Amino acid sequence: MSKKKLALIVASLVTLFASTAFAQDGGAAANKFSAQSMAALAAGLAIGLAVLGGALGQGRAAAAALEGISRNPGAAARIQTPMILGLALIESLVLFAFAIAFLLQGKVI
């Protein structure tokens, strides 16, 4: 993705979400229920983004490892062990995000 496209996406997202930040008055509408709903939204977004990032990371790691093995089959043992370690670390980050989302969900009740 080019830098221009990325800048356009970021600018459009900032423009889109800036208007919702000022959509309501801060006085009467700010209560514990709005904080709870934002915590529930944050929990859902956290686990969704974590799974998306983890899946993309694991896919790229596996693809790179398989490409390396296909180019040099003799190095399969030296490539496989660090790949499995990397996949386990990526999965641990996803589980950490799940734990954070679970803690945020506990704030809702």
The reply to whether 11 falls in a domain is no
The CATH number assigned to the domain holding 41 equals 1.20.20.10
Query: Scanning the structure block, which residue is given the tokens 């799940």?
Result: 98
Domain that includes residue 61, residue range: 33-108
Q: Model confidence over 28-68: pLDDT tens digits?
A: 556 667 777 787 888 888 888 888 989 999 999 999 999 99
The reply to whether 5 falls in a domain is no
- In terms of phi and psi (left: phi > 0; alpha: psi -120 to 50; beta: otherwise), the region of 30 is beta
The reply to whether 28 falls in a domain is no
The reply to whether 97 falls in a domain is yes
The reply to whether 66 falls in a domain is yes
Q: How far apart are CA 45 and CA 9, in angstroms?
A: 19
Q: What is the pTM of this model?
A: 0.60
The answer to whether residue 24 scores a pLDDT higher than 70 is no
Structural domain count, the chain: 1
Q: Model confidence over 72-106: pLDDT tens digits?
A: 999 998 999 999 999 999 999 888 888 888 887 77
The reply to whether 14 falls in a domain is no
The reply to whether 16 falls in a domain is no
The reply to whether 102 falls in a domain is yes
